[in-house]
Structure 1
């Protein structure tokens, strides 16, 4: 089994669409797909996996997950929203992502003083901080598990270690997903009042 440091490195936690990587000119759909494929290529589980497809983008547009595109070109703000959609859809339903981004889309299109790029920069900083905390948590979980496994004295210690790490990681993932869903529900309540 990989060490926790190797595992963290193999996850490419810092793979994000940075503001510097987003061109200042508007892009056609194929260019958007190429940009995302390049930026997130290392995060794919296997070579057949697609980061972003025309169908996905069209479904996001039809579902009003981002504000309408003009002249078939995507602005920097569209790319930021698509990046956020890409990250959120791994844990939330598309309806939850839509609920989460609805007010943000309004702000982008209706509030001339709102700067989406500033919000996104804040988000990217939080993601970077979270990646560092995640690496520390990996080491902590591994240390706790190895201490607990010593008591079992089983011959198949590597398998049991992997099993317990998988169970722990999925449990932690469920905690975060459920917390995110509770916050989505609160956004929904706020919008109805």
Structure 2
């Protein structure tokens, strides 16, 4: 680690990043259908802050084709993707970092059936905005949790040799964060397993 960069300064910088980073609003999406190249360009530009390395790609043609192949994404209309497609792709982007393709399919199939191209008012934009409106409150919770976790990790190895303090603080922070994600991932999987999805991912509940 760079001597000029402390673990706490990285954490503080990331907390600031959380506070400054906001999900794409439905109103930011184009109201016209886009070709695949336009879709990947839009996603790459608007989710750039999520990249680990500058050369990383947020979305590629291969990914989109695989999502369609696995029935996560409805097929495009004459090779063009609608605003509803874009909203689904944003959700898939966040889900795929935690969930398997099979679990994403289970969760999103009922959503596709009920809200994709729904012209009765409760459409994909309605659903997406309702979820994302809670983002500021969730960001505040996450920031507070990370700060508390960092403080706890700083106290774990107070009796360690001075030359090992930085590394042991680092491994403590990483271990606690990993355990946090591990437990939450298990909860997500239990929630998915408890819901009466049918074998093709559609909710077992009858549609009205």
Shift of residue 41 of structure 1? 1.4
Q: Which structure has the highest helix share of the two?
A: 1
Q: What TM-score do the two structures reach when normalised by structure 2?
A: 0.84
Q: Is the 8 A contact 1:12 1:42 kept in 2?
A: no
The SS at the match of 1:17 is coil
Unaligned runs of 5+ in 1: none
1:7 to 6, 9, 14: 14
1:36 to 31, 39, 43: 43
Q: Is the 8 A contact 1:15 1:39 kept in 2?
A: no
Shift of residue 7 of structure 1? 2.6
1:53 alignment partner in structure 2? 60
2:146 alignment partner in structure 1? 138
Q: Is the 8 A contact 1:60 1:66 kept in 2?
A: yes
2:88 alignment partner in structure 1? 81
Q: Deviations over 1:156-188 (max 9, x none)?
A: 111111100000111111111111111221234
1:118 to 119, 126, 129: 126
Q: Is the 8 A contact 1:19 1:121 kept in 2?
A: yes
Residues 1:70 and 2:81 are matched in the alignment = no
Residues 1:180 and 2:188 are matched in the alignment = yes
Q: Map of 1:90-129 to 2, 5 A cutoff?
A: 90-109=97-116, 111-113=118-120, 114-129=122-137
Unaligned runs of 5+ in 2: 1-5
Q: Is the 8 A contact 1:13 1:131 kept in 2?
A: no
Mapped partners of 1:146, 1:38: distance in 2 = 36
Q: What TM-score do the two structures reach when normalised by structure 1?
A: 0.90
Count matched residues: 192
What is the CA RMSD across the aligned residues, in angstroms? 2.0
Residues 1:157 and 2:165 are matched in the alignment = yes
Mapped partners of 1:86, 1:74: distance in 2 = 16
Distance 1:6 1:164, change over 3 A: same
Mapped partners of 2:41, 2:101: distance in 1 = 22
Q: Is the 8 A contact 1:12 1:43 kept in 2?
A: no
